[in-house]
Structure 1
Amino acid sequence: MRKRHLVVALGLLGMLCVPAHAEARDISRETLPPNDGWAAAAGGTTGGAAADDAHVYTVTDRAGLVRALDGGSDTPKIIKIAGTIDANTDDDGNRLDCADYTTDGYSLRKYLAAYDPRTWGAAKPSGPQEEARQASAARQAERVVLPVGSNTTIVGLGSKAVLKGGSLQVSDADNVIIRNLELRDAYDCFPVWQPNTGGLGDWKTAYDTLWLRGATHVWVDHITASDKGHPDEKEATYFARNYLRHDGLLDITNGSDLVTVSWSRFADHDKAMLIGNGDTATGDRGKLRVTLHHNEFESVVQRAPRVRFGQVHLYNNRYVVPDDAHDYRYSVGVSTESAIYAENNAFHTPGHIEAADLVKSWNGTALHQSGTLFNGYPVDLLAIHNAYNSGSERDLTADVGWTPTLHTKIDSAEAADREVARGAGAGRTP
């Protein structure tokens, strides 16, 4: 009997020791911690934490999300996404595809015939088929472009919250938080041919999964962004160029400032992240201050990130280039007046990719780097770049003109590599 009573007592004690907070944590009113990157400067980033109960929404479809976003209003709001929302749907939730957006006689076959460089030349496309393409593209944009206003928090509920086919756009807005959400396949039905791009011409697409344009105080945390569903590498080739359907995963442009991107995963994409959109955008000087920490870039061809003008703190990130990568170009792009301070990042690549391939510069002059691991071995990316650059790139200096002060604990590259592999991305919010 004593033994039986002891078992019962221990069972009751175990019940009493179950944490009261064992249920899923509600992160919707959480704000950016102090000192957590550039978004913590000048008052910090609180998103929609001040929202009243009337402006807290749980949405399960595009129509509900559009209502909650309220046209990008500045009213404090919290939007919780449950399940999968498809932006390519009508107001009744019916699925839309490219044929539903096509109008005014547009067809890809006719477009290709009209603007074949062998007959059209290098002039910008114009005329009936380009006008029809623009009209068709506008119809898709009405559905998939989702404006996010100031004082907004968007969070995914649970481990499987997804927004697919949409382009979240934070334009001229302040104080925004986006967390725990998978952003997938911002697919452009109507790319435009640009004959003068890159010498040979190229296809230009319209949508980033997340675009910060003139945005300030933004915290992006535990998101997963990818082309899942329609990888560009499986698209056809027209005019000897891949018919791209996706633009950036996360682009930070047009004077955006005070941004922290943390514990996120960017995967299976070509041009992942652009910070600063033009060499002549001198109004970006003093802006584009961005912190990237504890993020994973996997199967990304380039722009992880590419930086113009900005002061970018890049620390404790993990880069993975798969063994079958045949089109990898670079990871860190040093462009006009950029000032990248890179610390304790880890790179994993197959044997045909060398440390000299990791950094590429265009008109950039500076890169601070320390604590870098390349396939488990310490390397000096700056010294390697300067020793092995192609001759078309200038040597870089380690003096970037600033030293980061706003940051969380900086771990060794080895420790961060393990933690990011386990913890980055949607559904893994601590």
Structure 2
Amino acid sequence: MRFRHIAVVAGVLGLFCVPAHAEARDIARDTLPAGDGWASYGAGTTGGAAADDDHVHTVTDRAGLVRALDNGSDTPKIIRIAGTVDANTDDDGDHLDCADYATGGYSLKKYLAAYDPRTWGSARPSGPQEEARQASAARQAERVVLPVGSNTTIVGLRGAVLKGASLQVRNAENVIVRNLDLRDAYDCFPVWQPNTGGLGDWKTAYDNIWLTGARHVWIDHVTASDKGHPDEAEPTYFARNYLRHDGLLDITNGSDLVTVSWSRFTGHDKAVLIGNGDTVAGDRGRLRVTLHHNAFESIAQRAPRVRFGQVHLYNNRYEVTDGHRYSIGVSTESGIHAENNAFHTPGHIEVADLVKSWNGTALHQSGTLFNGYPVDLLTIHNAYNGGSERDLTADVGWTPTLHTEIDSAAVADREVARGAGAGRIP
């Protein structure tokens, strides 16, 4: 019996042990599985999987990352990020702060004095301090805006962090970003935007990832946050919070065929914007996006907000906290198909607070859990918000066909809690 026991144990252990001669899986060569959301449509999304050995890079600093990106070229390439890469560094790798970018006599103190709405009024800022702000902002943009070209895979190695950068996929296609902790796309020089109907607001420049005119993009197991400089720690100027961050992920300007999966969006105001304007008619028929198995934690709004797009939103997990404005934003001509999502909220936040509509007409929802209880987001929205917002119908004009297995909200809730974000690819 003793020898039989040893043999059985050895056989079980063999199921979990990789032979010494076996090759480890290279996630940088992974491609999007067939049927996994809108990015699998047509030819699918392969990123840089076809890259030859000369175009496989491991980078440890900004300079190496810039060289590997090759100014957004279309050459198939794989870029592995190791350690922490800080975009706010000079060519020698020394850290740059906001004072290093300031030029033309810009100072925040002078800017606030020049454009105080009590004296300046509601006109857009102009003159020496606004010109100095623009010049200073351009200097920062030269460092932190990183263009990503077609046929590119960017993957983080264990513990990889990209800090202070704005990855921008502009008019490119077939891009994969995976297993990467994206932190603190921090704008040193927000612009004041007056509003004739009110005080106005501060406008910032950088998203952690911005897709503009992009096609066939897969974002997977990414963590995106403001970690390092949370906006709630910023002061108030002109009775408005001095925001330093824009979106965590913006998908705009005709971008199309995007899958966002198993990612974690946390500690931020405006998380995911799909479609950037109510009058951008060129977005019709585009902005097809799937978001599944993502975690939205301490997000105030835009999880996501959608204009025009056909968006499949399923098996996502929401942890709603104080400061929450809404989660799902239904805007002009949007068609959101929301299935089996789970929301966790404090007691004072109601189901009606989860959905907000601006000119939107439809929301399909099913299988929603609210603090463990099944709810109908559509019915409750119409009952409680009908006086101030348009009633929504359930007919969004399309039915999703490209998706992985859709779990119950309860199962997805548990799986996402332990599996979403950087460093958690099985």
* TM-score (norm. length: structure 1): 0.96
Are 2:122 and 2:196, in contact at CA under 8 Å, matched by a contact in 1?
no
> Structure 2: how far apart are the matches of 1:191 and 1:400?
37
SS where residue 195 of structure 1 aligns? Answer: strand
Aligned residue type for 2:107:
S
Structure 1 runs (4+) deviating above 4 angstroms are 5-17, 21-24
Partner of 2:334: 338
Deviation, 1:321, is 1.3
- Superposition pairs for residues 226-245 of structure 1, below 5 Å? 226-245=225-244
Aligned residue type for 1:201:
G
- The answer to whether residue 299 in structure 2 is matched with residue 300 in structure 1 is yes
Partner of 2:30: 30
Aligned residue type for 1:90:
D
SS where residue 313 of structure 1 aligns? Answer: strand
Aligned residue type for 1:87:
A
SS where residue 153 of structure 2 aligns? Answer: strand
Partner of 2:311: 312
Deviation, 1:392, is 2.1
| % identical aligned pairs | 82
- The answer to whether residue 403 in structure 2 is matched with residue 404 in structure 1 is no
**C-alpha distance after superposition, 1:210-254 (max 9, x if no partner):** 000000000000000000000000100000000000000000000
Partner of 1:93: 93
SS where residue 292 of structure 1 aligns? Answer: strand
Deviation, 1:25, is 3.2
> Structure 2: how far apart are the matches of 1:360 and 1:6?
64
Partner of 1:351: 347
> Structure 2: how far apart are the matches of 1:14 and 1:370?
41
Partner of 2:135: 135
Deviation, 1:199, is 3.1
> Structure 2: how far apart are the matches of 1:393 and 1:6?
70
> Structure 2: how far apart are the matches of 1:312 and 1:186?
26
- The answer to whether residue 162 in structure 2 is matched with residue 163 in structure 1 is yes
Closer, same or farther: CA 9–384 of 1 in aligned 2, 3 Å: closer
> Structure 1: how far apart are the matches of 2:108 and 2:65?
32
Closer, same or farther: CA 198–95 of 1 in aligned 2, 3 Å: farther
Deviation, 1:15, is 7.8
Deviation, 1:196, is 1.7
Partner of 2:216: 217
Partner of 2:269: 270
Structure 2: segments with no counterpart, 5+ residues: none
Deviation, 1:14, is 7.8
SS where residue 195 of structure 2 aligns? Answer: coil
Aligned residue type for 1:334:
V
- The answer to whether residue 400 in structure 2 is matched with residue 382 in structure 1 is no
Deviation, 1:200, is 2.2
Aligned residue type for 1:167:
S
**C-alpha distance after superposition, 1:122-158 (max 9, x if no partner):** 0000000000000000000000000000000000012
Partner of 1:72: 72
Shifted more, 383-392 versus 82-91: the winner is: 383-392
Tell me how large the CA RMSD over aligned residues is. 1.8
- Superposition pairs for residues 140-155 of structure 1, below 5 Å? 140-155=140-155
Partner of 1:192: 191
Closer, same or farther: CA 375–109 of 1 in aligned 2, 3 Å: same
Are 2:316 and 2:416, in contact at CA under 8 Å, matched by a contact in 1?
yes
Deviation, 1:205, is 0.2
> Structure 1: how far apart are the matches of 2:24 and 2:145?
31
Closer, same or farther: CA 38–8 of 1 in aligned 2, 3 Å: closer
Deviation, 1:42, is 1.4
Aligned length: 424
> Structure 2: how far apart are the matches of 1:79 and 1:174?
16
Closer, same or farther: CA 364–75 of 1 in aligned 2, 3 Å: same
2:421 to 422, 425, 429: 425
Partner of 1:256: 255
- The answer to whether residue 362 in structure 2 is matched with residue 366 in structure 1 is yes
- The answer to whether residue 129 in structure 2 is matched with residue 119 in structure 1 is no
SS where residue 272 of structure 1 aligns? Answer: strand
Structure 1: segments with no counterpart, 5+ residues: none
> Structure 1: how far apart are the matches of 2:164 and 2:24?
28
> Structure 1: how far apart are the matches of 2:169 and 2:14?
46
Closer, same or farther: CA 119–72 of 1 in aligned 2, 3 Å: same
Partner of 1:102: 102
- The answer to whether residue 411 in structure 2 is matched with residue 415 in structure 1 is yes
> Structure 2: how far apart are the matches of 1:395 and 1:8?
67
Aligned residue type for 2:186:
Y
Closer, same or farther: CA 29–394 of 1 in aligned 2, 3 Å: same
Are 2:117 and 2:199, in contact at CA under 8 Å, matched by a contact in 1?
no
Closer, same or farther: CA 413–73 of 1 in aligned 2, 3 Å: same
Aligned residue type for 1:269:
H
